[in-house]
Amino acid sequence: MRNALRIFFVGGYISYRALFGFLSLWIFIPTLVLTPIFQILLFAYIGRAAGGHSDQFYVVGNAIQYSSVPCLFAMTQTIAEERFWQTLGPLLISPAGRLPLFLGRALPVIANGLVVAAFSLFAGGLILGVTLAGADWARLAPVLLVAAFSCTGLGLVNAAIGLRVRETAVLSNVFVGILLIFSGANVPLSELPGWMADIGRALPLTHGIEAARAVASGHSLASVRGLLGREALIGVAYSVGGFFLIRFFEVQSRRHASLERV
Amino acid sequence: MIRTARLLAFGWVLHFKMLSQSAFDGFLAILWPLFFATVAFFMFRHGSRNAALGPIALGAAVMGVWTATSVSASSALQRERRLGTLELLVAAPTNLALILLPVALATSTIGLYCIVATLLWARILFGIHVPVAHPLPFGLGILGIVFTIGSLGFLMAVAFVRSRRAWAIGAVSEYPVWLICGFLVPISLLPHWVKPISWVLGPTWGMRAIHAGAFGGSAWGDVALCFALGLAYIAFGNLLLGRMIDAARRRATLSLT
């Protein structure tokens, strides 16, 4: 148990440090600090041009939707980078338990997703004049956390596919695009065709965005617990699915000797 | 003159073929703007202003040209550096600008796929019909925007020659250019201080020319400005490239190792 905890915390921390050792501040600031702000501005202005919703609608929606970028990319890169540096083989023949090994890598990713979403919300709101009171932030924090957790679950699925597919960055971008359309970040589910709304409800972030909008409008955390519960459940489902997919592809890649095909 | 034209044409064809090789990259180049186009179509369709969707489809289509160019062109020199060919290109007797310009133009030409794909997407899935009132100015507007975006990509490639992370700077420019060049949002809606920035960006005039060509109005002035700004980027980029390469040679920092 103690060993599993060590792999979970220390392994996850080292893996994340390694990732951001390669991804320097010159990448972190443009991609995870500036771009989400520009995305918020883009959609807020499109909303103004179209006569859509309030600025707050787009600030909250896009800040949370953008957390999918760190959650999906970072989670996937923790495996893809192992392959690139040819350390994936030694990692997978180690006797370390797979659950702490891979879930440990998810923990800092969730924290990063939370920070990116919170900063985007703050900066985007500041620029567009959307002010949130201190109490709103306190209620929003758990919502952002659950949304980041849920999306990291999808990141785990993406990481598993990365054991078989080389173009993991393309795949991550496709997932980000799907979330942009289906999660209700810019178009409420009620304005999407029924089948699209149904897909949206099965994706991470959708319920988190809805809950965050309600909380930012002054609703209590208790009033959105149903949405938060669904978001967390979706996160658990994707995480479990991702974990089993990793195990499956690990076995497959051993069988087909395709583990380090770069 | 003929040798220069041949070099540019050969370089453009070569890089266009190279960029078309990766099915995954090509797929993403087309798909990525479609995500944004889809969101924009839904937003405008349900918006209270009942804006015509034809101009939105055109704007969304042109967004893809910038997407195809911003990251690829910005990181063009870094790519050569990674492949170990940058020193050879710099040492070659040919002006480096004549080698780099077709690379940037090839990336923006890939954007033509995005234009076609987005217009088909708009037509088939959303029933948005884009009429072309004046085919000649419309066609010249499309050519102009591909040229000016390619030239802007060339300028970015030159400006970031000293950076290993040029792609990240290219990526961060994607949304701002979409926004301030009036692809989906009228420039009149933006803050006053943004407008002069949009005026010095060629895609702004290219977009105006395409709108005028499609929906009526005089496009010739906008087409001329679009091409003129493209030429200005090339001239400025050429000037900057000489200085950058000189500095890199003097300090032995070309390979950034």
Region A188-217 average pLDDT: 96
B256 part of a folded domain? no
More confident residue, A10 or B22: A10
B69 part of a folded domain? yes
CB contact under 8 A, A170 and B42: no
Q: Identify the residue among B44, B74, B162, B172 best suited for mutation to test binding to A, counting A beta carbons within 10 A and taking the highest.
A: B172
Q: What is the mean pLDDT of chain A?
A: 90
Q: What secondary structure letter does DSSP report for A31?
A: I
Residue A255 has pLDDT above 90, yes or no: no
The total number of structural domains in chain B stands at: 1
The domain of B35 spans: 2-251
Nearest to A150 by CA among A194, A98, A196, A212: A212
pLDDT by residue, tens only, chain B of 257 residues? 888 899 999 999 998 998 888 777 677 788 889 999 999 999 999 988 878 899 999 999 999 999 999 888 888 887 888 888 888 888 888 888 999 999 999 999 999 999 999 999 999 999 999 999 999 999 999 999 999 999 999 999 888 877 777 788 888 999 999 999 999 999 999 999 999 999 999 999 999 999 999 998 888 999 999 999 999 999 999 999 989 888 888 887 777 65
CB contact under 8 A, A50 and B44: yes
Q: Which one of A26, A174, A186 has the shortest CB-CB distance to B43? A: A186
Q: How confident is the model at residue A3 (pLDDT cuts 50, 70, 90)?
A: confident
Gyration radius (Cα) of chain B, Å: 19
pLDDT tens, A151-187?
A: 999 999 999 888 888 778 888 999 999 999 999 999 9
Helices (H), B127-201: 135-159, 166-172, 174-180, 195-199
Q: Identify the residue among A20, A26, A34, A42 best suited for mutation to test binding to B, counting B beta carbons within 10 A and taking the highest.
A: A42
Sign of CA dihedral B197, A65, A72, B57: negative
B155 part of a folded domain? yes
Q: Which one of B35, B43, B172 has the shortest CB-CB distance to A35? A: B172
pLDDT tens, A37-86?
A: 999 999 999 999 999 999 999 999 999 999 999 999 988 888 777 877 78
B197 part of a folded domain? yes
Q: Please tell me the distance in Å from B145's CA to the nearest CA on chain A.
A: 21
pLDDT of B77 reads 81
Measured between alpha carbons, how far is B184 from B204 in angstroms, rounded to an integer?
11
B60: Cβ contacts below 8 Å, ≥ 6 apart: B33, B36, B37, B40, B41, B118, B122, B183, B184
- Contacts with B, A 152-211, CB within 8 Å: 167, 170, 173-174, 177-178, 180-181, 186-187, 191-192
pLDDT of A22 reads 61
Q: What secondary structure letter does DSSP report for A24?
A: -
Residue A117 has pLDDT above 90, yes or no: yes
Q: Which residues of B touch A (CB under 8 A)?
A: 24-25, 27-28, 31-32, 34-36, 38-40, 42-44, 46-51, 163-165, 168-169, 171-172, 174-176, 178-179, 184-186, 189-190
B152 part of a folded domain? yes
B-chain residues near A49 (CB < 8 A): 44, 47, 49, 51, 184-186, 189
CB contact under 8 A, B165 and A31: no
CB contacts < 8 A (A, B): 103
B199 part of a folded domain? yes
The torsion angles phi and psi of A186, rounded to 5 degrees, stand at -125, -25
A11: Cβ contacts below 8 Å, ≥ 6 apart: A96, A100, A101, A104, A105
A-chain residues near B28 (CB < 8 A): 170, 173-174
B59 part of a folded domain? yes
The answer to whether residues A78 and A109 touch, using CB atoms and an 8 Å cutoff, is: yes
Residue A261 has pLDDT above 70, yes or no: no
Q: In terms of residues, how long is chain B? A: 257
Q: Of A97-106, A125-134, B56-65, B109-118, which range is least confident?
A: A97-106
pLDDT of A251 reads 87
B257 part of a folded domain? no
pLDDT of A199 reads 97
pLDDT tens, B151-170?
A: 999 999 888 877 777 788 88
More confident residue, A35 or B165: A35
The answer to whether residues A73 and A109 touch, using CB atoms and an 8 Å cutoff, is: no
Q: Please tell me the distance in Å from A174's CA to the nearest CA on chain B.
A: 7
- Which pTM value belongs to this model? 0.92
pLDDT of B256 reads 63
Strands annotated E in A85-134: none
